[in-house]
Amino acid sequence: MTDALAVAGVALRESVRRRVFAVVVVLTAAFGALYWWGASQLFQDTSGFGANRFGIDATALAGATLLGLAMFGTLFLGVVLAVFLTLGAVRGDAESGLLQPLIVRPLGRRQYLAGRFAGAASVSAAYVAVVYAGAVLVTGLVGGWWPDQVLGAGVRLVAAVVVVAALSLLGSVFLSATANGIAVLMVFGAGLLAGLLGSIGDALSSHTLQRLADTAAWVLPFEALYRDALRVLVANVTGVTGAIVQLGPLGGSHDAGPLLAPWTIAYVLGVATLTSVAFARRDL
Amino acid sequence: MDAALAVTGLSKRYGATDALRGIDLEVAPGELVGLLGPNGAGKSTLVKIACGLVRPTSGEARICGAPAGSPAARGALGYLAELFRFPGWASADEILALHQRLARSGGGAAERAELLELVGLGGEAARRVETMSKGMQQRLGIAQALVGRPALLLLDEPTSALDPTGRRTVRSLLEELRRRGQAVLLNTHLLSEVEHVCDRVAIIDRGALVAAGRPGDLSGISGVEIETASGIRRFPGATRDDVPELVARLVGEGERIYDVRVVRPTLEDAYLAAVAP
């Protein structure tokens, strides 16, 4: 365990020394400032709507839409961070000669993987949690709209980025760093696209599209977690407003059911096992 | 006492290519063995199997009695890869501290300072790897392999990036390791290095062990050449002890002797003969 922590510590120190975190903090601050400005403008514009004959709650509509978009942005940035921290963990580092001196030490391959996963997952999860909390605060303070289940949505978002970190680590056993980075980001995009198609399928009552989205959600549970996070985020928005915000940005909300949490845990453990077995069999 | 390295019937196949074909090799505790062979002969594959980086197709390698790749085996060895890199952002001291932690070495700052001094990097502890020359990085790699005083060192081309001064430093270091009783398997192309410091030599060609023995024995004595008035007379297989008798015989035959040479082929000759196509 201490060996895994040592490996995680190396990955984190590298990110600090390479100023990865500095860049992330600066860009995230810029994202936060833009979000604050956009939210102020939007809530200002919608404040004059008042009650209307369609029964739309303008504040809830603006708040839920904005926060839904912020969640997508947060997840995307968290995924980029998770992928960056893991994309070359095995094959990439082996090709550059970084891996061999470490792996011949008594820590072994499984501990090495555990360290890399712990480092990437904890950093990207913490990042997602902080940025998400910031977006919730800005939306609440600027517009006076607070989501129903702040914690539930945040936990799902964090779990989604952990799933991506696990997948990226698995990919690093088989692919070079560049190929793995591209592959994982394409898989992430494909998952979101499937969610979007699912929303269209819901609107058009297309069973084929719905089945496609459901299958993608189980194969790539970060997608199901993201859409379920959107669902719990707007659970207290009812009526016409609720119907509109349920469509949500980039995929819309979707109830993944009670099996999502156990499936996500089993999925991450399965991916971790597969990564460990594949790495154990790999000649370096 | 278990051998530092015991390799038995070791084979490795990559697709249709046999990288190793039934290699048997032993390195005794405290022994310094040179591993020679042309490019692609299988030397690095053998070293990687011993480290647990590559799985053998058949046969086995044991480090101090433990199967290669097991935690006990990994704990008993130090390894310098042919192609390796340390994180450029880390200092020499940080690299060694990390490896001390992973190797469970309790040597602390004193061991780190000693190792850096040993490889000629004393005073460079705070220097970042990315500001080091290739030769300095190679020296740091050797220091890293020595962390925790391993019973067996597997050094894959340790002098490939070094200048003549650096090579001499490594040669002195190898002699120091022998004095300390640490076994070394030295994979190199530099025959002079092997000839000077190694107790034994193993020559591998196309995955098979083609010659093994002490450098002097491998070189052998090929004969005696005597220059006479009628030309050079060669006596293959003759030794230094045969010289007086040969000279007396030739003088007795009326020859005039101008020069006598005991011909000793170098390790290079023995190597080229062993790996000839």
The Cα of A1 is separated from the nearest Cα of chain B by a number of Å equal to 11
Contact A104 B51 (CB under 8 A): yes
Q: Does A281 touch chain B (CB under 8 A)?
A: yes
Q: Which helix (H) or strand (E) holds A194?
A: helix A177-204
Query: Which tokens hold the place of A275?
Result: 């990564």
From the list A3, A17, A97, the residue facing B102 with the nearest CB is: A3
Average pLDDT value for chain A: 86
Structure confidence by residue, pLDDT tens digits, B199-251: 899 999 999 998 888 887 776 667 888 999 888 888 888 888 889 999 999 99
Nearest to A106 among B48, B71, B86 (CB): B71
Looking at residue B31, its pLDDT comes to 92
Where do the H-state alpha helices sit in B16-131? Answer: 43-51, 71-75, 92-102, 108-118
Q: Give the nearest partner residue to B99 out of A13, A105, A283, using CB atoms.
A: A105
Contact: B87, A10; criterion CB under 8 Å: yes
Paired strand residues for B12: B20
What SS3 state is found at A67?
A: helix
Share of chain A above pLDDT 70, in %: 89
Domain boundaries, chain A: 2-280
Q: What does the pLDDT read at residue A114?
A: 92
* Contact residues, chain B, for A96 at CB < 8 Å: 85
Give bridge partners of residue B128 from the DSSP assignment.
Answer: B91
| Residue spans of chain B under pLDDT 70 | 219-221, 277
Chain B residues within 8 A of A100 when measuring between CB atoms: 51, 53, 79, 81, 84
Strand-strand pairing, B77-80 and B152-156: parallel
Kindly report the nearest CA distance between residue A125 and chain B, in angstroms: 25
Tell me if B129 sits within 8 A of B141, measured CB to CB. no
- pTM, to two decimals: 0.82
Encoded tokens for A96: 């550059």
Q: Do B84 and A3 count as a contact with CB atoms less than 8 A apart? A: no
pLDDT at residue A21, as a whole number: 80
Of residues A110 and B239, the one with the higher pLDDT is A110
B interface with A, Cβ–Cβ < 8 A, is 48, 51-55, 71, 74-75, 77, 79, 81, 83-87, 89-90, 98-99, 101-104, 141, 144
Quote the tokens at residue A91.
């094959």
Local confidence band at A242 (pLDDT 50, 70, 90 cut-offs) = low
**Residues A136, A67 contacting (CB under 8 angstroms):** yes
- Kindly list the residues from chain B whose CB atom is less than 8 angstroms away from the CB atom of residue A8: none
Residue A50's pLDDT is 58
Q: Which among A65, A61, A39, A79 is positioned nearest to A192, based on CA atoms?
A: A79
B90 contacts on A by Cβ (under 8 Å): 13, 17
Contact residues, chain A, for B101 at CB < 8 Å: 2-3, 6
Nearest residue, CB atoms, A18 vs list B53, B89, B144: B89
Cβ B44 vs Cβ B80: under 8 Å: no
Count of Cβ atoms closer than 10 Å to residue B183 Cβ: 26
Residue position matching structure tokens 């963990």: A89
Looking at CATH, the fold of the domain delimited by B1-76+150-218 is given as Rossmann fold (3.40.50)
H helix or E strand, kind and range, residue B78: strand B77-80
Rounded average pLDDT over A116-125: 92
User: Could you tell me if A18 lies within 8 Å of chain B, comparing CB atoms?
Assistant: yes
The two counts, helices (H) then strands (E), for chain A are: 12, 0
Mean pLDDT computed over A30-50? 83
- A99 neighbourhood in chain B, CB within 8 Å: none
- CB contact (8 A) between residue A106 and residue B103: yes
Looking at residue A156, its pLDDT comes to: 94
Q: What is the pLDDT of residue A247?
A: 60
CB atoms B71 and A108 under 8 Å? yes
ipTM over 0.90: no
User: According to the model, what pLDDT value does residue A279 have?
Assistant: 95
Burial grade of B77 (CB within 10 A; 0-12, 13-18, 19 or more):
buried
Pairwise CB contact (< 8 Å): B144 & A101: yes
Structure-token match 């490939």, residue found: B160
List of chain B residues whose C-beta atoms are within 8 Å of the C-beta of residue A2: 101
Instruction: Please spell the DSSP secondary structure of B147-185, one letter per residue.
Output: TT--SEEEEESTTTT--HHHHHHHHHHHHHHHHHT-EEE
pLDDT at position A248 over 60: no
pLDDT at A73 over 60: yes
Contact across the interface for B89 and A13, Cβ inside 8 Å: yes
Determine the pLDDT at residue A267: 96
Above pLDDT 90, what percent of chain A?
42
* B134, burial (CB in 10 Å: exposed 0-12, middle 13-18, buried 19+): exposed
For residue A145, pLDDT over 70 is answered with yes
Average of per-residue pLDDT across A150-178: 94
CB-based contact A106 B85, cutoff 8 Å: no
- The reply to whether residue A283 touches residue B54, judged by beta carbons under 8 angstroms, is yes
How distant, in Å, are the alpha carbons of A83, A187, B10, B162, B181 from that of A250? 21, 15, 57, 57, 66
Q: In this predicted structure, what is the pLDDT of residue B230?
A: 86
Best A85, A100, A109, A116 member to test B by mutation, with max B CBs in 10 Å, is A100
Contact between B81 and A106 using a beta-carbon 8 Å cutoff: no
Residue B83 per-residue DSSP state: S
B136, B138, B139, B144: CA torsion to nearest 10: 130
Instruction: Write the DSSP assignment of B240-256 as a string of letters.
Output: GGGHHHHHHHHHHTTPP
Q: What is the pLDDT of residues A254-272, one digit of tens each?
A: 777 888 899 999 999 999 9
Identify from A2, A98, A105, A116 which residue to disrupt to test chain B contact, counting B C-beta atoms within 10 A and taking the largest count. Answer: A105
pLDDT of residue A239: 64
